[in-house]
Amino acid sequence: MLALVAAGSALLALPGAVALSPPPAAGPDNPPVVGITRPSPSAVDQGVALDTLPPQPVPGRLVIDAIGLDAVIEPVDVADDGSLATPESASRVGWFSQSSRPGELGPAVFVGHLDSVDGPAVFARLRDLVVGDVLRVGGADGSWASYVVSAVDRYPRESFPTEAVYGATPESSLRLITCGGPFERGTGYADNVVVAATPVGG
């Protein structure tokens, strides 16, 4: 289960086994979540006009053999309360539809539950990944793209590195996010696990 996550200028809220407090109201100390949207890399930053890049398929499946994961991906967006929505099914991975698609410049951001009322969820073993593990993303058109884990980090939710996770990158990349750290009833998990990956051979 992923608890309320203060992500700098963002909140990431995933419901789970234990009822969570609603996200705090936006204000000076808690800005609304619009800041989690990935800044679009500009032609100046990347040296290429984005409209000349070939369109990539919507991601539909995530396979990570190292942790026995083979899951359906579905698009998610920002919810009405300003949190990042997630799939209702704990067995599915959410792709933040305002982030890049795999194969495009910038990070494709994926989110999933750690656990649920029924036990371990889709990202239960995400923290077990190590640098060098391979991830494969299947597109809706039947294509596949391979990425290699470049970092596995855990951040306190009060100091989530929003720009580092959602910010523009000079190449295609993946970011996978779930809960981590100690759990407290009523407040949820204290941390977030974030896995970064870059294209194989990139």
For the stretch 51-75, pLDDT in tens is: 445 789 999 999 999 999 999 999 9
pLDDT, position 63: 98
Q: Contact, 114 vs 121, CB < 8 A?
A: yes
**pLDDT digit string, tens, across residues 145-190:** 999 999 999 999 888 888 889 888 889 999 999 999 888 887 788 8
Q: Contact, 153 vs 135, CB < 8 A?
A: no
**pLDDT digit string, tens, across residues 17-48:** 222 223 333 333 333 332 222 333 332 244 33
**pLDDT digit string, tens, across residues 118-130:** 899 999 999 999 9
Q: Is residue 50 very low, low, confident or very high in pLDDT (cuts 50, 70, 90)? A: very low
Tokens of 182: 């100690």
**pLDDT digit string, tens, across residues 83-119:** 678 888 999 999 999 999 999 999 999 999 999 888 9
pLDDT, position 76: 94
DSSP letter assigned to residue 170: S
Give the span between the Cα atoms of 168 and 185, in whole angstroms.
35
The helix (H) or strand (E) run that includes residue 165 is helix 162-166
pLDDT, position 132: 97
How is 58-120 classified by DSSP, letter by letter? PEEEEEEGGGTEEEEEEEE-B-TTSSBP--SSTTSEEEETTSPPTTSSEEEEEE--SEETTEE
Angle at 58 between CA 115 and CA 33, to 5 degrees: 60
pLDDT, position 122: 97
User: pTM here?
Assistant: 0.75
Residues 12, 157, 4, 117: is their CA dihedral positive or negative?
positive
pLDDT, position 40: 34
pLDDT, position 137: 98
